[in-house]
Each structure stands twice: as structure tokens, then as C-alpha cells.
Amino acid sequence: MTTLPRVLVERMLPLAALPVRRTRSAARRAYAWMDERSDLRRLLRVGLYEAVPRRGAWAYTLGSATLILIGNQIVTGIFLTMIYVPSTTEGWETLNWIKQHDEFASLVRGLHLWGAYVLLFVIGLHMVRTFFSGSYKRPRELNWLSGVVLLLLVLALAITGAFLPWDQAAYWTAVVVTNIPSYTPVIGEYLRTLWRGGDFVGPITLVRTYGIHIWLLPSLLLGTIGLHLCLLRRNAEFGSYVNYRGAYRADGAAPERSSQRELEPPYPSLPTDDEWAAPLETEDFYPSQTFKDGLVSLGVMTLVFVLAVTVGAPLEVPATQNTTTYTPVPQWFYLPLDQLLVLVPQQLISMVLWVPLFGVLLLVLLPFVDRGRERNPFERPAVMLPALIILVFMLVLTAQGASRLFNLGV
């Protein structure tokens, strides 16, 4: 044998026979250090292994999809603040420049725009789902109310964001939208002047709206999201009526409560032994629900990404007030209100304020009007049919507005 292998065999081999001291890996030791100081292990267990209803779980993924889309808006928005300047002269220039020279920045802008459009759609679906499943009933009224606040904040973010590019579309959106509060009785003109920073839309309006859009509304939004999620955790995910004993009254064929799981926190969500207090079958949030959440969020973000790449964020000619040929076109999510502006005659003009406010009032009053225990949407015709009529009314206004705009050639 040559020297080196002899050293290896004679010197090292005996060491291999020594008993190995069982040390924890560095990762485990770091985790234990964190846990001792922050209760991390319990937090993770409580957060990840929460019980959620078993059946119909794909429908509950809309809430997390909304959250992911809001996250997308925040992340792309933060980077857009490093790209865009809120100036009536330079704002358009920055966006036009990146459109022509910087594909990645344009993609970020595209993600922000299409993320906003898809978010508005998904938040509407989420609201319809929670309405349908009766998840606004006791004890979850505050969840619903915080949700209404979130909806209004997201709508406000969408419309203030539309001002920022300062192209023709953005400018005229700013003119019309800032004009709507002027129809408030008594203080209307003051409200308009406050928002615009003057009589007409101009540089002060832009910079003010920019601040509202990037700081004021997002801070309110994040606070309300925190409240919404805390309440969700406290009151437990309701899910759908098919999970509960109350759904099987009609034919009496209720499935047996699964004997493998005891009633787990956060259920029962009501102190009494209400037939809607706890689902018959639950599963762990992680990984069952997170898998579905992840898949739906992936699908939604893929849609946003594809739209951002293929269609991208449009930019019209720079804002010009002195035009006799441009026809202002409203944002698609604003079409029902715009069609209301077309239909309402001038003597009844305050209707353009009262009708949306009344709609919001109906949303706010919903948990207090529909106080019955019943969660099955097909057993609640008193709220379902009027809601359907109001939804038809809004779709009618949207279709009428789209048809009218098409025939104007825009």
C-alpha cells in the first residue's frame, strides 16, 4: 500500500467506529431558538392547521385569490412608484418612454393594470359567493361589513389609479369622476374644489390623487384586510350550506358526523348547539385548502400575466382639454354609473348619487335584514330574488352603455 491510503485506513477508520454524538442540525437549532423567543411553533400550528369545511372547498378559494391579486397590486405598485412621475407633463412621458424602450417596466405596468381589472372581477365573485352562502349571518356580520369597506376601497383605488397616466382617457375620467361629488346638496361644489385643488382638473389634482392612490387608500386597505382576516380566524370559515346538518332537513338524510375528527377550534363558531355552528366534516387548512387556494391563485395570476404580455397597458395621446373630436369613454367597471348619467334627466340629477349610495346601504343593511338562521340560498327567496333583480339591473345598464359606446364609434 502507498502512504496516503495507509494513513486513511490506519488513522481514520478507527474513528468511524466511535459512537456518533447525536447533534441537531443547524436548521433545527435555529428554529428552536426562534420558537423560544417568539412562540413560532404554536403560531404556525394554529395558523396552518386550522379546521376548514371539507365540501365545496373550491368555492372558498376566491378570498385568497383576492388577497393574492391585492398583493400583486402592492408589489407592482411599489415598483411603479420608481418608474412613474406624478406630473401633468412628465407622467405621460415616463409611461410613453417605457412603452417604447423598456419592455420589463411596461410588463410591470401591464401586470398592475390587468391585475386591477381581474381583481375587480374576482372581488365581485367573492362577494357574490359569500352572499350566496349566507356567510354574513351571525356571528359573521362584521366580516361582511369589513368586506363592504374593502370593496369600496378597491373601487376607489381603481378609479384613482385611472387618473394617473394622464392620457386623454385618464384626464377625462378625472374630469367626470371629480364632477360627480359636485351634485351633493349644499357642499357639492366645495367637495369638487377640494379634490381638484381648484376649479378645474390640473397638476394639483394629479399629485393629490397620486398620494391618495399610493398611500392613503392602501394604508386603509391593509388595515381593513388585517381586520377582515382576524375576524375570519375568530369566527371560522363558514363555507357552504352543504357542509352542515341544517341542509339535510328536507329529506332528513344527514350524513353521520365523521367520528375521526373531534370538533376542532375555531368551531363551533356559535356558543349554542346551532345546526349551523359547526360543519359535519372538516379538514386541515394546510395542505388541503392551501393546495386549492394555490391552484386558483396560480390560474388567476397566469391570466393577469398573459393579458399583460399580449395586450399590455394602453396609452392614448397626452391629455388635451381643448378638443372637439375626442369622445371620453368610461372605464369598463364604471359603465353602469355612466349609463345612469345618460339616463337620468337633469331635474333628477341627484339620483346619480342616491342610487349608488342606496346600493351601498343595502349591502350594509343586509346582515340586519336577513337575520334568519337559514343558510341554504335556495331557501332564502326573499333576499335572493331582489338581489337577482338588482344584478339584472346592473347588467342591463352595462349592456346598454356598451351598445351606446359601440354606436358612437369608440
Partner 1 sequence: MAHVLAGGLQLPGASPSFGGFLGYRIAIGGMFELHILLSGIVSGFTQFGPVVEWLGWMRRRPHYDRLAHGMGRFLIFYFAFGAASAILLISSLLVGLWGHLWGIINRVLFWPFYVEAWTFFMMVILTYLWYFTWGPLGGRFKVLHMTMGGALIIASYLQVAMIDTVASYMLTPTQPGNPIAVFMNPTNFPLQLHRTIANLAYAGYGIAGFAAFRYLRSRDEVQRGFWDWAGSFGVVWGTAMTLVQPAIGFDYAKEIQLHAYGAWYKMMLGNLSPVFLAQIFLLGLMLLLPTWFFLRRLRSSTGRRSKVLLGLLVLLALTTVFATLPYQLALTYDQVQATGMNRPLWEGGLIFPFAAMIPYKIAALVAYSVFALTAVFWYLHRLPEVRWGSAGRLEQWLLIASAVLTMGMIVLMGFIRENSRFPDGIAGVVQLHGQQSISQPSIGPSGQSRGQLPFP
Partner 2 sequence: MSLSRRRLLVLGTQLSGTVVAAFLGVPIVGWLLWPLFHPRQTVWRSIGKIGDLPVEQPVTRRVSFPPQPQSWSSTQDTWIVFLVRYRSGEIRVFSNVCTHMQCPVRWEPAIGQFLCPCHGGLYDIFGNNVGGPPPKPLPQWIHHIGPDGTLYLEDELNEEMP
Q: Which is nearer to partner 1, 44 or 396 (CB)?
A: 396
CB-based burial of residue 11 (10 Å sphere; 0-12 exposed, 13-18 middle, 19+ buried)?
Answer: exposed
Instruction: Considering only the stretches 34-42, 94-102, 174-182, 252-260, report the one whose residues sit in contact with partner 2 under the rule CB under 8 A.
Output: 174-182
Query: At closest approach, how far in Å is the CB of 329 from partner 2?
Result: 9
Pick from 112, 196, 228, 380 the residue near partner 2 by CB under 8 A: 196
Contact positions with partner 1 (CB under 8 A) in 351-380: 351, 378-379
With contacts defined by CB under 8 A, how many residues of the chain interact with partner 1?
30
Query: At closest approach, how far in Å is the CB of 212 from partner 2?
Result: 12
Q: Which is nearer to partner 2, 293 or 338 (CB)?
A: 338
Residue type for 379, please? E
Query: At closest approach, how far in Å is the CB of 178 from partner 2?
Result: 9
Contact by Cβ (8 Å): 124, 81 = no
Instruction: Considering only the stretches 12-20, 260-268, 319-327, 398-406, report the one whose residues sit in contact with partner 1 under the rule CB under 8 A.
Output: 398-406
Query: At closest approach, how far in Å is the CB of 65 from partner 1?
Result: 25
51-53 and 282-284 as β-strands: parallel, antiparallel, unpaired? antiparallel
| 328 interface partner picked from partner 1, partner 2, none, CB below 5 to 8 A per type | partner 2
Pick from 303, 344, 355, 384 the residue near partner 2 by CB under 8 A: 344
- What is the C-alpha to C-alpha distance for residues 7 and 156, in angstroms, rounded to an integer? 76
Contact positions with partner 2 (CB under 8 A) in 73-102: 88-89
With contacts defined by CB under 8 A, how many residues of the chain interact with partner 2?
36
What separation in angstroms does the CA of 191 have from each of 67, 180, 198, 217, 388?
Answer: 32, 10, 10, 18, 34
Contact by Cβ (8 Å): 64, 299 = no
Site for partner 2 contains 321 (CB under 8 A) = yes
Pick from 322, 389, 406, 407 the residue near partner 2 by CB under 8 A: 322
Q: Which is nearer to partner 1, 259 or 325 (CB)?
A: 325
Query: At closest approach, how far in Å is the CB of 190 from partner 1?
Result: 26
The rounded radius of gyration (Å) of the Cα atoms in the chain is 28
Report which DSSP code applies to 189: H
Q: How many helices (H) and strands (E) does the chain have?
A: 16, 2
What separation in angstroms does the CA of 159 have from each of 177, 279, 330, 367?
Answer: 8, 40, 10, 28
Contact by Cβ (8 Å): 123, 324 = no
Contact positions with partner 1 (CB under 8 A) in 276-335: none
- What is the C-alpha to C-alpha distance for residues 279 and 276, in angstroms, rounded to an integer? 7
What separation in angstroms does the CA of 304 have from each of 65, 72, 73, 84?
Answer: 12, 10, 11, 21
Q: Using CB under 8 A as the criterion, which residues of the chain lie in contact with partner 1 when the complex forms?
A: 250-251, 339, 342-348, 351, 378-379, 381-382, 385-386, 388-389, 392-393, 396-397, 399-400, 402-404, 406-407
